């Protein structure tokens, strides 16, 4: 996997792991239920062109302070992940994009986001590789608010077409 914007100090990586572990093990009743979705333009992406897809937490209550998620393309011959931007000014982040562009793993902590409502936590840039369509899906390992309390998450995906 190719690393983008990865912390270089082992202490930062250990802190990121600790913060994500805290979000994953916090009491379930401490934060609300929410869903995570991908939001993209309705228009197809031309071959060789890129489009940006937002990763959106639907109903934050206490902001988003940490997360561990993966965005995957089912059909990297049609579309591929080429970049990821992490929102919320995280103090620690780790982004890895697969060499074939089939997925991107994103981990972030110490974020400062809007405290309520919809929160965009990242934007993923996807390039059209060939004519066809490909499913783009998000899966969330952990998601926590700014106080370290875990959200109960449901995830879903979107559909991306190339022409």
Span 41-63, pLDDT tens digits: 778 888 999 999 999 999 898 99
pLDDT beyond 50 at 30: no
User: CA-CA distance, 9 to 15, in Å (whole number)?
Assistant: 10
**pLDDT (average), residues 126-155:** 89
Q: Check whether 26 has a pLDDT greater than 60.
A: no
In this structure, how many other beta carbons lie within 10 angstroms of the beta carbon of residue 149? 19
Element (H, E) at 87: none
């Amino acid at each position: 996997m190719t690393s983008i914007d990865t912390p270089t100090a082992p202490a930062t990586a250990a802190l990121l792991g600790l913060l994500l572990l805290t979000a994953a093990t916090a009491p379930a009743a401490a934060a609300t239920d929410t869903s995570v979705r991908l939001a993209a333009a309705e228009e197809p992406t031309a071959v060789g062109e890129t489009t940006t897809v937002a990763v959106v937490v639907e109903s934050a209550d206490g902001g988003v302070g940490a997360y561990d998620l993966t965005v995957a393309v089912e059909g990297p011959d049609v579309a591929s992940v080429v970049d990821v931007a992490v929102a919320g000014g995280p103090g620690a982040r780790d982004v890895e994009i697969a060499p074939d562009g089939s997925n991107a793993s994103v981990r972030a902590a110490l974020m400062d986001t809007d405290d309520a409502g919809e929160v965009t936590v990242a934007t993923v840039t996807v390039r059209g590789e060939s004519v066809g369509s490909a499913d783009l899906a998000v899966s969330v390992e952990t998601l926590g608010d700014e106080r370290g309390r875990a959200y109960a998450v449901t995830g879903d995906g979107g559909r991306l077409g190339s022409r």
